Amino acid sequence: MQRSALLNHALNSRLWFLLLLASYTVLELSFNHRLLELAGDLQWKVTSVQLNDIEIWGRVVSGLGLGLLLMRWLDNFVRSRLLLLVMCCTLGLLSMWHAQKALVDNIVAHAHAQDLAMSWKSQMSTQEALNGRILHRGETLLTSPAPAEIRPVMSALWASSVAGLLPEDLNSDSGAAQLMSGFFAPQVSPSQLVASYRKTVMTPVVLGASLLFGLLNLCQLFAGSLAWGLTVCGQDRLLQRSKFWLLPALTTLCMGLSWWPGNVWTASPAYRLVASPALWSEQPYLAPFVEWSVRAEPAWADSVAWVHRALLQDFEFKVPFRSGLVLEDTPAFAVAAPLR
């Protein structure tokens, strides 16, 4: 009787909820990898439509993640599980849709001319940064080309990590970089500068939020699977002892493994002494997303790539029925060759 009661009333012990968490985890990790692919494109083949679609998908994925967390928190207050599912997913989607859009729009709207110029310069110099030929106010970024495990993340977030600096704070000893910043510098329109800056802001906000909700729900999945297994095996007493600390322990472990290991990028003098302090000082609303993303994304990069390729078969995350929907569009990006 006790086991039956646990199965009927504990949401985290219900198989359908565990399957829902598993499905969401696959979706979120795949989305994370697709966003890294688009934001880290060094050939500048990504279109404004693709970026707009991935930003919209980001709000949806984060909203669903928040909804699944709300289901666990509100389970004791709503008797109908169907009503709980609909209510929490709706609340999560509406909250993340408006919160992410408002945050990105607000940062972009308050950008100064030097912010726009810095965003463009840093995006054009991403390849130079990957090659380790960039200095931040004289501080070394990398002593050698970026290792393979951090290149996708660094390609996507390099421009965001230096958003608190000025264009003159970046120096390169590459002849190509000097030519591109001088005589051969491309002409850029104001709309292209704004679009470039929006990409710089949007990427860490969407990436950081989706990864956070993904990891929290992954911990929910692991904790719920263990609880379900203990219940099925008749270990009700052990379940009662562990149910209060199991999820917090898994969450602490997961967040610790994501944050603390670090990488050669975050450990470099240029990032620690120059880029990170400047970002927290000049862009306090953007800084938490960048700081979390540049530390946590490399720790999960291989996993999210495998999930996207093996389980979702490189799903592109396009917005369906775009022609019949009224969606906001970001300005088009200029077509320009990245630095080599």
**pTM, two decimal places:** 0.87
Question: How much helix, strand and coil, in percent to the nearest 5, is found in the chain?
Answer: 70, 0, 30
Distance CA 81, CA 71 (A): 9
Q: Which residue has the tokens 């200095």?
A: 135
Residue 328 belongs to some domain of the structure: no
pLDDT tens for each residue of 294-337: 999 998 888 899 999 999 999 999 988 665 554 555 444 443 43
Q: Which two tokens stand for residue 80?
A: 């109908």
Residue 232 in 3-state DSSP? helix
pLDDT at position 336 is 40
Distance CA 272, CA 176 (A): 27
pLDDT at position 324 is 53
pLDDT mean over 263-288: 94
Residue 335 belongs to some domain of the structure: no
Longest dimension (CA), the chain: 80
Residue 2 belongs to some domain of the structure: no
pLDDT tens for each residue of 79-99: 899 999 999 999 999 999 999
pLDDT mean over 285-299: 94
Q: Are 268 and 43 in contact (CB under 8 A)?
A: no
Residue 117 belongs to some domain of the structure: yes
Q: Are 130 and 154 in contact (CB under 8 A)?
A: yes
Residue 139 belongs to some domain of the structure: yes
Distance CA 102, CA 108 (A): 10
pLDDT tens for each residue of 205-231: 999 999 999 999 999 999 989 888 888
Residue 336 belongs to some domain of the structure: no
Distance CA 316, CA 209 (A): 19
Kindly tell me if the per-residue pLDDT of 149 is higher than 60: yes
pLDDT tens for each residue of 114-131: 999 999 989 988 988 999
pLDDT at position 173 is 60
pLDDT at position 211 is 93
Distance CA 331, CA 246 (A): 47
Per the structure, the complete domain to which residue 227 belongs is given by: 7-322
pLDDT at position 261 is 77
Q: Are 297 and 37 in contact (CB under 8 A)?
A: no
pLDDT at position 236 is 80
pLDDT tens for each residue of 8-46: 457 877 889 999 999 999 999 999 999 999 999 887 788
Q: Which residue has the tokens 């969450």?
A: 251
Phi/psi at 139 (5° precision): -90, 140
Provide the number of structural domains found in the chain. 1
Q: What is the dihedral of CA 23, 208, 302, 145, to 10 degrees?
A: 160
Distance CA 87, CA 77 (A): 12
Residue 96 belongs to some domain of the structure: yes
Residue 299 belongs to some domain of the structure: yes
**Sign of the C-alpha dihedral computed for residues 41, 332, 126 and 203 taken in this order:** negative
Closest CA to 202 of 126, 101, 313: 101
Average pLDDT, the chain: 86
